[in-house]
Amino acid sequence: MAKKRSEAQWRQWVADFETSGETQFEFCRTKSVSLGTFRYWLYKVRRQAVGPRFVEVVPQVPALLTPAGTIVVGEIRIEFGELPPADYVGAVVQAIGDKR
């Protein structure tokens, strides 16, 4: 029957492993411990060390005074907040030309 180890013992072994230079398989063989059990504790300790993985997302407010694209046909000027597809731009220019 496998010996029950404390959480402190596992945390120490994870720290020892991180600096050992050994593979997980080699480390487990020297400690006479199951690879599956060791991986459970390794990943558990690593997750707790990192903490929650939240990333702050800050929405970018489009700069209304700085258009990404401008179409000028004669006296008509159209500004886009973000670049539209090329076929759309072509259709707009054609439509403006047809109305003139």
Same domain, 14 and 46: yes
Query: What's the mean pLDDT in 48-57?
Result: 71
Who wins on pLDDT, 16 or 77? 16
Same domain, 43 and 11: yes
Provide the domain count of the chain: 2
- Specify if 64 maps to a domain: no
Q: What is the pLDDT of residue 63?
A: 53
- Nearest residue to 71 via CA among 53, 92, 56: 92
- Specify if 80 maps to a domain: yes
- Specify if 31 maps to a domain: yes
Same domain, 43 and 15: yes
* Cβ atoms of residues 40 and 14 within 8 Å: no
Who wins on pLDDT, 77 or 55? 77
- Specify if 55 maps to a domain: no
Average of per-residue pLDDT values in the chain: 82
CA torsion 61-64-65-67 (nearest 10°) is 100
- pTM, two decimals, is 0.48
Same domain, 46 and 73: no
Its domain, for residue 74, covers 69-99
Q: What is the pLDDT of residue 61?
A: 64
Enumerate the β-bridge partners of residue 77. 72
- Specify if 13 maps to a domain: yes
* Cβ atoms of residues 45 and 10 within 8 Å: yes
Q: Which residues of 43-67 are buried (b: 16+ CB within 10 A; e: fewer)?
A: eebeeeeeeeeeeeeeeeeeeeeee
- Specify if 95 maps to a domain: yes
